[in-house]
Amino acid sequence: MELMSGGELFDRIVEKESYTEKEAAETIRPIVDAIRYCHEQGIIHRDLKPENLLYESSDEKAIIKISDFGLARFVQGELATTACGTPGYVAPEIVAGQGYGKEVDYWSIGIILYIMLCGFPPFYEENNKELFQ
């Protein structure tokens, strides 16, 4: 296991408040590449969020990596059905109880990108039940 001493993307978002489009693209690109690789191997992460994206060092241009594969699942041609993930980042098909695949990871990446650009989440409610409505 690698030591990721640079902290979470979450902390950098809080510190920076919002990113330019260029900064956000440079930050998210390696995550998209890593998720694409996972998907090619038949793995969906299912819990992408800024807290699970870690930097190798505190350097501004440090390498960012995906962590916490605790909810990840190997899928080979079938759809996953387990309701899991973090509220606010969960794709609509998971909330609806439908079968889903790798697209749920891209939904979560879109939410992260939105937060980076705007400084706040696209969906927010104090109550998860209301959030999922």
Whole-number Å distance between alpha carbons of 48 and 61: 21
Tally the domains of the chain: 1
The pLDDT tens digits for 80-110 are 999 999 999 999 999 999 999 999 999 999 9
Determine the structural domain holding residue 14 and report its residue range: 9-121
Whole-number Å distance between alpha carbons of 43 and 37: 9
Other CB atoms within a 10 A radius of the CB of residue 45 amount to 26
| pTM of full prediction above 0.85 | yes
**The two three-digit tokens of residue 25, written as one number:** 């693209």
Is 129 contained in some domain? no
Least confident residue range of 5-14, 110-119, 120-129: 120-129
- In this predicted structure, the answer to whether residue 125 has a pLDDT above a threshold of 90 is no
Is 62 contained in some domain? yes
Query: Mean of the per-residue pLDDT values for the chain?
Result: 92
φ and ψ at 92, to 5 degrees? Answer: -60, -35
What pairs with residue 74 in β-bridges? 43
Percent of the chain with pLDDT over 90: 84
Catalytic residues: 47
Is 2 contained in some domain? no
Is 99 contained in some domain? yes
For residue 101, the domain's CATH number is 1.10.510.10
